[in-house]
Each structure stands twice: as C-alpha cells, then as structure tokens.
Structure 1
Amino acid sequence: MDIEKAINLDDLRLLARKRLPRIAFDFIEGGADDERCLARNREAFQRYRLVPRYLVDVSRRDQSCTLLGRTYASPFGISPTGLAGLFRPNADLMLAAEAAAANIPYLMSSASTDSIEEAAKIAPHNTWFQIYGTRNDTINDDLVRRARDAAIETLVLTVDVPVNSNRERNRRNGFTRPLKLSPAIVLEAMGHPLWVLRYLRSGGMPMMKNWAHYAPPGARAGDVADLYGTLTPAPATTWRSLERVRDLWPGKLVVKGILHHRDAALAANAGVDGIIVSNHGGRQLDGAPSPVEMLPAIKTAVGGRVELMLDSGVRRGTDVVVALCLGARAVTFGRPTLYGAAAGGRPGVRKAIEIMRREVDVVMAQIGCASLNELGTANLHDWPPGEVARRAEMLRHDGDAVLNAG
C-alpha cells in the first residue's frame, strides 16, 4: 500500500512499521512499564458517544479554531516529538512545512534533530517551541532567548518528566546511551534497506541541533545526546522554574503535562496562557489517568482563565470532537504524523493531516454542528447527568486550595 491509499491513521502506522527497523518503530510506539496507559488513553475516548442532531443545515462547515490569539484551519496540531530525524532525515522540518501548509500548530521539541531557527524560517506563524526544565539555568534561559530571537509566538514548557521513565521496549532494544545494538537488532534492521541507506547517507545517528549549540566545538551526535542526557530530566524543576520562564518569556506561554486540577489552578495563577492536559502519550507514568478523564475537572478549576488543549491517545476525528465537547479548545497528536513522516516524508505528514481534517469534518456534519462553537457536553450521551454541576460544587468546596492556590 502506498501513502495515497491510506484511509486512516492506522494505515500510516502499518506503513511506518514496514519501513522502520524495530528499534526505531518501538521508540515511536512504546510507552512505560506494561503500557497500560497507552491502552487507557484510547479506551477513555471510546467510552463517550456523540449524539447526532438532524434536520440541521450543515451544508457549510467550518472547523477553524482561534487559539492563543491566532486562527488556525483546524482544532488540532502536531505534538512535540523528539529525535524525529531518526525516522526520516529532516523530519522536523517536514512537520513544520506541512503544518504551515495546513495552517495548524506545530510544537517543535527541543529534543528535535533540526533546529528551532530552521523551523521558524519555514513555518514562522505555526511553529511553537517546546522546552523542558534542565539542570542548567543558563541553558534554560538561552533556550527561551533563542525562541524569542526566532520570533516564535508560543513557548511550551513540558513539566511531566521529573525523571526518566521505564520504557522497556527501548531497554530491550538497546536504545539507551550509549547505544547497545545486539547482532539480532542489527540483522533485523538490515531488513529495511531504504531506512538503512538514508541513515548511512545522513551520517548515522542524527544530531540534536538545538543542543549542539551547548556542546564543545566538534562534538559528534553521540556526544550531544550524552550532554542532553546529563542535563535532562531535571527533578528539581518546580513552580519557581515556571515563574522564571514566565518572567523571561514575552509571548504566549503554555504548560504541557498537567493532569491534576490543583496544578491547573496553580498554573493559571502563575500567568500561563494555556495548558495542555497530557500524560505524555503514556510514556511516563503507566498508572496515570487519561487526559480526557481529567479534562472536565481541570476546566472547572481554571474557570476560563487559560485556554485548554489536550493530547495523548487522539487517533480519530471523533476523539477531537469529544475533547472539544468536554472543554478543550484544541488537541495535539504526535505519533500519527511521525508515522506519516516515516512512511512517506512530507506527503505522509500531509496525508495524516488530511485524514484527521476529513474525519473532523464528517463527524461535525453527522452530529449537526456547522461550527466548533456549537459543541458542548450536550452532544455527549455518556456524560453523566448532573456531572458538571457535581464537579463544580466539589471544586467550590476545594476553593481555597484550588481557585486561590499559590
């Protein structure tokens, strides 16, 4: 099957699986521990049912979305995904270019293999920059400065990686620093000759260009990866770290990785502009709840003070619409566009976006909504009666700790 014959995002996943060696595919696909959180993310969406309304004029449908002051063509974007260049050289720039062409947000990871300066030139109005706290305040501050100097409008601080998680697929495959490739892994990789050829032609392990800036002159890709590994994660990252970023950053600031309603309230009090409710795609805490389960309480806790987004487990247009009904302004997803990049480069990324856009459009028509501002909990069958009021009352009793937190 070629890219143009892909009907859904899982078709792109299967194409990527055929074209990537197991060590690379498992890096995209895997989660933490027993990977129960991966399954939970999908199951949580599947518990909701959308109730259609008929005899409504849906001949013209508009899925445009105003997010953090900018209007995008669809209510979804591309999540930050590190080491994308391992799956296809210059994949980060492919993601940026296709996001710009589709007019959706592209959240570039600071662990990317292309640089924020390159992405900003390709997609100046669509690129956001995602950073982690590091163990070096000077580097933290410089990453913020570089985003500002590149004219990036939105900075994303990911907070849900206090320590490295137990990603067992990576450990079994030897995908650690330093790389430990067994003969069996090497032999399996040779069954994917096009990937091996691209890998060798591009010089082997790709350089983390955002971090090469902080390595000694002449540092190789492995040296830069080791530097990154010594400075991240940063378990001493706290609310003070967020406040420091807020003080330095003049643009829109988004916090990614919030799951608790009290943390959401604290983030709102700290002056962030947006929150991405996320469990890191099931890659950090295997016992974590699905973001879609936590979204209603978080929406009540922040009281409209910040714009809410959601990622983790989004694979269908139905998922996008469910999240919007529950209070998200938009969603992001990362694995599907990586599948597209791995399977077919820019056309593969374009196909992933087109598939999701078409599914959102069809779902909107099926439920009788011509625009996104018509969506709400009334469109959901499985929303328990009185649940909104019950949660709001719960949070009012929790008032001093939540709404006046900090």
Structure 2
Amino acid sequence: MGKTLNLIPVTPLDYRRLAEARLPRFLFDYIDGGANDERTLASNVDDFARVLIKQQVLRNVDNLDTSTEIAGKPASMPVVLAPVGMAGLFGRRGEVQGVRAANAAGVPFTLSTVGICPLDEIRSASSVPFWFQLYMIRDREVIRDLLQRAMANGCDTLVFTVDLPMPGMRHRDVRNGMLDTGLRGKLGKVWQLGTRPGWVWDVGVKGKPHSFGNLAHVVPDPTDLAVFSQWINRQFDTSVTWKDIEWLRGIWKGKLLIKGILQTGDARDALAVGADGLIVSNHGGRQLDSVASSISKLPAIAEAVGGQMEILMDGGVRSGVDVFKAIALGASAVMIGRPWVWAMAGAGEQGVRDLLAVFKRELEIAMALSGVTRIADISRDNIDSTPW
C-alpha cells in the first residue's frame, strides 16, 4: 500500500515532513540537525515525554485563560517564537512571515542577529514591538550599532546568546557540503537545489534580497555558507566573560534575557550582572553534544533564581502539553524554534498561525484535565512524576 496522504498538517512533525519535501537537503538538515551524534538533540524531546502530568477531574474549569505576561508585556499564551538564523532561506522573507504569525497569535517574535530580513523590514511588518537576539562578536562597534538600530526599530527585549563562543560540530552540514568551498561542495549544493525547483523559484528568486539584513556589510551573501562559516569562526568572541555583559547592560535600556544557561551557578551570575531573565537552553542540541536536556535542568534553576528573575526555556518543546510541563516545572514561558520554521517552510505564514493555534488548544486541554484555569495556577503540584 502507498503512503497515507495527510491532508491537514497538525503537529510539528507533520510540518517537518512538509519542510523536508520542499527544502534543499542542505537547508533542511541545517535547521533539523544537531551537534555530533545528536544525543542532546534527541534528549531534549525524549525528556519531555518522561515528565508525567497529574490528571485531576471534576474541577470547575469553565473559564480557561492561557494569557500571561512575558518580559513585562501581555501574551495570549506563554510561548515565544525563538530566533532562528537564516530563517529567510527556509521560506520567502521567512522572518516577516514569522513575525506576522506571532502578532496574529498574540505572542512575541525574536529576530536573529543572522536573520535574512533586517530590523526595519521586521518593524514594518510588525504591529507590536519585537525582540532582538544578539551574539557577541569581536567588533564591539558593530555590537553598539546593532543595539542602537534595534532600539530605534522599537525592540524592547534583547535576547543575548552566550553558548556560542564557537560553532558546534554539526556533521550533517559537513556531509551536505555546506562548508566545502571546492568544486565537489559547490556541485553538490547545485544538485540539491535542482531537486527543489519550487524552492528555487519561490525563495531563491522571489525571496531576494538574500543577505544578512543586519550584517550585510560584514557577510553579504548567506547563500555562500562556506563564507558564512568562515566569518563566524573569525568573529564569534571566545574571550567573552560576565564583565562584557555588564558592558552590554550599560548600553541596552530594555529588558535583557541571557540565553544558554544550564547551571545554577551561571543563573546566579546572570542575576548578579543585572539581567532581567534567563533562558534555560542548550541551543537546541546544536552546540555541545551530551549535555543535559533543557527541561531536566529547568527545575533546579527555577528553584535557585526563579523568585528573583524571569525564567524561560527552549529545546524540545513540541506541543502545548510540553508548554504546560515547562510552566509546571518553573518556566514563565517557552521558546520554540524548529517547530515554527518547519511550519513556515512547509506551509508558509498560515502554517505558523495554525501551529500556534494547535499549541494553544493543547495547552487549554492540559489545563482543563489538570484542574487549573490560569497560567499562574500551574505548578509542580500538577506534575505526577519526573525522572530527575
């Protein structure tokens, strides 16, 4: 018998299959893959499945409300679209599609430092302030300029990523010839592009200009991924310490969230340098393989500093049920990266809107069958068991 045709995509894995069918292999694997043997990538998802919710019935759950506040602003549910580098190569002007879908759903959107669309384009597409994500690169004047432009374009929250002093070993990218500047690598990518004529026309041609919108003067052509990799290796700063974050805090006047925290000691350091919050994250399993999953590290970090700063998490969130689990274990909100990019690549802006609607409905059902009606009422008492 032939494969079953799914008429309507529902889950992130449904959209993942659509994305795989539409993207050139090197781009699909770039967003889909992780570091080394991808053990941490897998454990991010698997460890969520090992957390069990306590079902409680015959409670009055007539007035369910998933709304909350994230970084001082109202949101329809505790979900944020995470920063994803080069999102504009996975769909035509991908970051624009993402911010419009986020606005429609009433959740924050985060623009990556290495996004395709520039800050001013996102501002024009957005009806509310959006977040900006920053990597610390060696040229501090470039950093200062980026922050000034972000503030000028209405960004009110900065997500500072601290777990990328150098890129992780992502073997899928090497296998696909992404980093090969020789003839073999170029011919390989041309062949992969030839298998996806729809992407070539919709994104490759109609999605121009292809440049790192906020760093076009530094890395003009993101389609030359070997050049992009060389730039990263030169510019990402391995000498960054907590003192540099103090310098950053002196420039940035909005909310500051530190992304890439896995240890309670680092969480306390983030609090000490004046961060407003942190994001428990292992970079989606893309940096150091064999580190713990984000969800397994969340409870201890939330216990250490949760009463003093806002705690978010990312990595492995694949449903509204996962959102519920993260909130119960101490997060105020979650960030999703791969799910929204798979949806955008597979079904465009509408796909992201539909995915977020499913997340919201799943969260409502989890709340109803746990006997709670408000996000603030979700707690560790709603968890039946964890493996930690």
Give the TM-score band, short-chain normalised.
over 0.9
1:340 aligns with 2:352: no
Residues 23 and 214 of structure 1: CA distance in aligned 2, closer, same or farther (over 3 Å)? closer
Q: Secondary structure at the match of 1:234?
A: coil
Is the CA contact 2:313–2:335 (under 8 Å) kept in the aligned structure 1? Answer: yes
Partner residue of 2:368? 365
Equivalent of 2:214 in 199, 202, 210: 210
AA of the residue aligned to 2:307: G
Aligned to 1:396: none
Matched positions, count: 382
1:279 alignment partner in structure 2:
282
Q: Could you list the per-position Cα deviations for residues 347-385 of structure 1 after superposition, in whole angstroms to 9, with x for gaps in the alignment?
A: 12112212211211121112121111111111111148x
Residue 310 of structure 2 corresponds to: 307
1:82 to 80, 85, 93: 85
User: Partner residue of 1:49?
Assistant: 52
Offset of residue 185 of structure 1: 4.6
**Any unmatched runs of 5+ in structure 1?**
388-406
Aligned residue type for 1:321: F
Structure 2 partner of 1:110: 113
Tell me the CA shift for residue 131 of structure 1: 0.4
Cα distance in 2 between the residues matched to 1:289 and 1:155? 25
The normalised TM-score by structure 1 is 0.88
Aligned counterpart for 2:381 among listed residues 378, 382, 402: 378
In the TM superposition, residue 310 of structure 1 has moved relative to its aligned partner by: 0.3
| Alpha-carbon contact 2:306-2:330 (below 8 Å) kept | no
The answer for the alignment partner of 2:190 in structure 1 is 186
Matches within 5 A, 1:90-169: 90-123=93-126, 125-169=128-172
**Normalising by structure 2, what TM-score?**
0.92
| Two-structure CA RMSD over aligned residues (Å) | 2.3
With over 3 angstroms needed to count, the CA separation of the structure-2 counterparts of 1:289 and 1:212, relative to structure 1, is same
Q: Percent identity?
A: 36
Other-structure match for 1:36: 39
Give, in whole Å, the separation in 2 of the partners of 1:119 and 1:204: 15
Aligned-partner Cα distance in 2 for 1:327–1:14:
32
**Mean alpha-carbon deviation: is it higher for 49-58 or for 297-306?**
297-306
Of 236, 240, 249, 2:239 maps to 236
- Tell me how far apart the structure 2 counterparts of residues 213 and 183 of structure 1 sit (CA, whole Å): 27
Q: Is the 8 A contact 2:258 2:277 kept in 1?
A: yes
Asked if 2 retains the 8 angstrom alpha-carbon contact of 1:128 and 1:153, the reply is: yes
Whether contact under 8 Å (2:129, 2:154) holds in the other structure is: no
Query: What CA distance in whole angstroms lies between the structure 2 residues aligned with 1:66 and 1:228?
Result: 37
Tell me which moved more, 291-300 or 104-113.
Answer: 291-300
User: Which of 320, 326, 329 pairs up with 1:326?
Assistant: 329
Give the equivalent residue in structure 1 for 2:252.
Answer: 249
SS in 1 for 2:37: coil
Shift of 1:177: 6.7
Contact 2:259 2:279 in 1 (8 A): yes
When residues 143 and 65 of structure 1 are mapped into structure 2, their CA distance, relative to the original with a 3 A threshold, is same
Structure 1: distance between partners of 2:238 and 2:188? 35
- C-alpha spacing 1:4/1:355, structure 2 compared with 1 (3 Å): farther
Which residue pairs with 2:201 in the alignment?
197
- Residues of 2 paired with 1:23 and 1:383: CA distance? 36
SS in 2 for 1:181: helix
1:9 and 1:203 mapped to 2: Cα distance? 24
Q: What is the identity, as a one-letter code, of the residue corresponding to 1:189?
A: L
Give 1:133's aligned amino acid. M
Structure 2: runs of 5+ lacking an equivalent: none
**SS in structure 1 opposite 2:185?**
coil
